[in-house]
Amino acid sequence: MAFILLNLDNLSSQVLNEDDKVLNSKEDSEFKKMKRTDSEWRRILTSAEYYILREKGTERAFTGEYDGHFEDGIYVCAGCGHKLFDSETKYRSGCGWPAFFQAMPESVEESEDNSYGMRRIEITCSKCDGHLGHVFNDGPQPSGVRYCINSVSMDFKPKEDK
């Protein structure tokens, strides 16, 4: 069952599924930050998604659904459906988490993370601010970076056959 919400601020609509996760919006490049209360996130997300996306948790290495997943398609945020990574940028890093050498334009935001005595760069969804993982400077060319992402923080949308 799908519901349609009308955003009167910019007269765009978003189609939501029964879990209230955004399936698509007006344009990926034209989006507004999604703001929800903690209780709304708890209702919408599974306990694992809430732990990763809202509490900045990390799933155990080599346990995620998408670590060894290499189908053609797009990886989207499990919290809001925002497009994050094209499967063409995914590679086997051996780190135990899905790894990508490039994010989709304007899909993620980076911030300094000094937790646990480490100096890292945290990656969050640019639409809902959900924690995705971290980015490191040890990836392959052409970018030289490795986006190390929790599987739980993403859903996968296969490419449609044409």
pTM of the model as a whole: 0.79
Peptide bond into 142 cis (omega under 30): yes
Q: Can you give the pLDDT at residue 160?
A: 85
Report the domain count for the chain. Answer: 1
Q: Can you give the pLDDT at residue 116?
A: 87
Domain around 128: 3-158
Alpha helices in the chain (DSSP H): 38-44, 47-53
The domain spanning residue 117 has which CATH number? 2.170.150.20
Choose the catalytic residue: 77, 80, 125, 148.
Answer: 148
The rounded average pLDDT for each run of 10 residues, N- to C-terminus, in the chain (162 residues) is 34 36 43 89 97 97 97 98 98 97 97 92 98 97 96 96 53
Active site includes 148? Answer: yes
Tokens 């900045």 label which residue? Answer: 56
CA distance 120 to 35: 25
CA distance 38 to 126: 18
Are 110 and 135 spatial neighbours (Cβ–Cβ below 8 Å)? yes
Q: Can you give the pLDDT at residue 161?
A: 59
Q: Can you give the pLDDT at residue 19?
A: 41
